Amino acid sequence: MAESLGGIPPELDSPMPYRAKVMLGLIPGVSVPATDALEDIVYGEEANKEHRNLYFALQDLSDIVVSGYQNNSGQVQLRYEKISGRMEYLMGKIQIAKQILGDSNNSGTPRKAFIREEDALIHFVANLEKALLNYSI
């Protein structure tokens, strides 16, 4: 799994952050969209294209996860009605998120200031990708 995120293995070897568990619907009675791990989008001339792309990718990906209010299974559950016919689109959103998060985690590039909870997002994306791939099998 670590290699699928393109050079981000140390974070995936660490315990999953609580916020990632909440984003994945693994904590009963709690719900937080993955977009909460980013700064608010700035519109206009100062808009950052990567920030916007990551925000909207996470928004679409959060939309397919069953929240902790409805999930008490202890496993990531997906809203299959929101996946039907959209698998290629959603996997594209996963790739966008992985690329931006991977660039942010790369020591050769500056940290993305708009990402507040990088570790949580890395776990969110990796585990959601795994759930989507299992769904498509």
Confidence of residue 137 (pLDDT cuts 50, 70, 90): low
- Whether 11 shows a pLDDT value over 60: the answer reads no
- Whether 1 shows a pLDDT value over 60: the answer reads no
The mean pLDDT of 63-77, rounded to a whole number, is 94
The mean pLDDT of 26-40, rounded to a whole number, is 94
pLDDT at 13: 61
pLDDT at 102: 86
DSSP category for residue 66:
P
Ranges of H-type helices in the chain: 9-13, 18-23, 49-62, 80-83, 87-105, 118-136
Model-level pTM? 0.85
